[in-house]
């Protein structure tokens, strides 16, 4: 997508919180005695799967849409995510009363497309390649004057995603660590900014699938690694870490914890059995990172962002039978 990615600053998270306040839910913070006992930690789950459209993605999309000038907004917005960001952008555009275009690759899940259309967005089909998706977006931009809102490198998206941690840290000032999933890095970078905005001495851990560990390799090597083929059940974390996100995160003490899919699915089951909460694997990975690193988290007060709950029921049925 054609856009200029300027580095967001901590104050933009505070501005985002004010900007989205009329539209986004202040999601509850859940706790589970049984999981605390098992892990030896005090876990505070920020329930973003109860956010509008069922994912934290609404925060960033909403902030980006409402940060547009009236002139920009008149042309509408465009993106090429067929997942939660697409639905989130569609709803945000609907709330502002502007057009939304979503470029979707052939073969995308029909249920997700229906969700995007329910919020009034126009779908544009393309071949299932990155090049075709980028070209589709460029074409929509040329035809309509729409502004591209990238799912995780747009600075206002990053700032908006940071509002989840801002709410969590404001409600639970005693937290000494946060754990969030790492995919493209929008939530991770936004969370780092939120910690800075509040000037908290709070460690940040990023849970990343072993099968899409470009983030871990990038931080270890000091160079962005985006030559990899993702192989993970965490469909929300298959994208490669964004350049701006990498630059922002490498200046912090954020640490990547890699998690294999079996541990993630086990955590997803635990959230359903012990907390009655349905979350995506891309979300359960954060709890799995805690469960897999008990010595690291023992005795600490840890915030965990449950990022989304849009789960395909057939896949869930398979999980429950295991």
Distance in Å, CB of 159 to a copy of itself, minimum = 25
Does 269 contact a copy of itself by CB under 8 A?
A: yes
Q: Sheet with 42-47: list strands edge to edge.
A: 29-30, 42-47, 301-306, 177-181, 203-209, 255-259
Site for a copy of itself in 44-73 (CB under 8 A): 49-50, 52, 54
- Determine how β-strand 29-30 pairs with β-strand 42-47: antiparallel
Nearest-5° angle of CA 115, CA 152, CA 315?
45
Distance in Å, CB of 310 to a copy of itself, minimum = 9
Nearer to a copy of itself, 253 or 321 (CB): 321
Angle between helices 84-96 and 110-118 (to 10 degrees): 10
Does 171 contact a copy of itself by CB under 8 A?
A: no
Surface-to-core class of residue 316, CB atoms within 10 Å of its CB (0-12 exposed, 13-18 middle, 19+ buried): middle
Does 314 contact a copy of itself by CB under 8 A?
A: yes
Give the integer Cα–Cα distance in Å for 88 and 75. 18
Compute the Cα dihedral for 114, 115, 118, 122 and give only its sign.
negative
Residue among 298, 264, 293, 266 nearest 281 (CA): 264
Does 309 contact a copy of itself by CB under 8 A?
A: yes
What would the two tokens of residue 309 be? Answer: 């709950």
Give the integer Cα–Cα distance in Å for 165 and 240. 22
Give the integer Cα–Cα distance in Å for 262 and 129. 28
Does 30 contact a copy of itself by CB under 8 A?
A: yes
Nearer to a copy of itself, 214 or 280 (CB): 280
Distance in Å, CB of 98 to a copy of itself, minimum = 20
The one among 275, 287, 288, 289 contacting a copy of itself by CB under 8 A: 275
Does 20 contact a copy of itself by CB under 8 A?
A: no
Choices 60-68, 145-153, 225-233, 268-276; region in contact with a copy of itself by CB under 8 A: 268-276
Nearer to a copy of itself, 68 or 279 (CB): 279
The one among 131, 227, 276, 295 contacting a copy of itself by CB under 8 A: 276
Does 172 contact a copy of itself by CB under 8 A?
A: no
Q: What is the binding site for a copy of itself (CB under 8 A)?
A: 28, 30, 33, 49-50, 52, 54, 269, 272-273, 275-279, 309, 313-314, 316-318, 320-321
């Amino acid at each position: 997508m054609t856009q200029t990615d300027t580095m967001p600053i901590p104050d933009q998270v505070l501005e985002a919180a004010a900007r989205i306040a009329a539209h986004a839910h202040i999601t509850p913070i859940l706790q589970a005695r049984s999981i605390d006992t098992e892990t030896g930690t005090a876990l505070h789950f920020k329930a973003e799967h109860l956010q509008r459209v069922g994912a934290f993605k609404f925060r960033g999309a909403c902030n980006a849409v409402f940060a547009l000038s009236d002139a920009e907004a008149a042309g509408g917005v465009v993106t090429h995510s067929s997942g939660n960001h697409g639905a989130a952008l569609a709803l945000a555009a609907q709330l502002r009363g502007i057009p939304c275009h979503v470029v979707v690759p052939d073969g995308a899940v029909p249920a997700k497309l229906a969700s995007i259309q329910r919020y009034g967005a126009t779908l544009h089909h393309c071949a299932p390649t990155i090049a075709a998706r980028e070209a589709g977006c460029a074409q929509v931009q040329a035809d309509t004057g729409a502004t591209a809102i990238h799912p995780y490198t747009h600075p206002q998206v990053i700032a908006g995603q940071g509002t989840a941690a801002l709410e969590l840290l404001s409600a639970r000032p005693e937290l000494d660590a946060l754990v969030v999933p790492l995919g493209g890095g929008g939530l991770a970078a936004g969370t780092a900014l939120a910690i800075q905005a509040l000037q908290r001495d709070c460690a940040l851990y990023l849970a990343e699938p072993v099968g899409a560990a470009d983030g871990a390799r990038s931080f270890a090597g000091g160079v962005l690694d985006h030559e990899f083929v993702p192989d993970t059940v965490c469909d929300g974390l298959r994208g490669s870490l964004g350049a701006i996100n990498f630059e922002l995160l490498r200046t912090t003490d954020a640490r990547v914890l890699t998690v294999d899919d079996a541990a993630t699915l086990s955590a997803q089951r635990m959230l359903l059995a012990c907390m009655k909460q349905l979350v995506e694997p891309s979300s359960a990975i954060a709890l799995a990172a805690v469960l897999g690193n008990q010595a690291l988290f023992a005795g600490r007060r840890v915030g965990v962002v449950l990022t989304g709950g849009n789960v395909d029921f057939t896949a869930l049925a398979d999980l429950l039978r295991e």
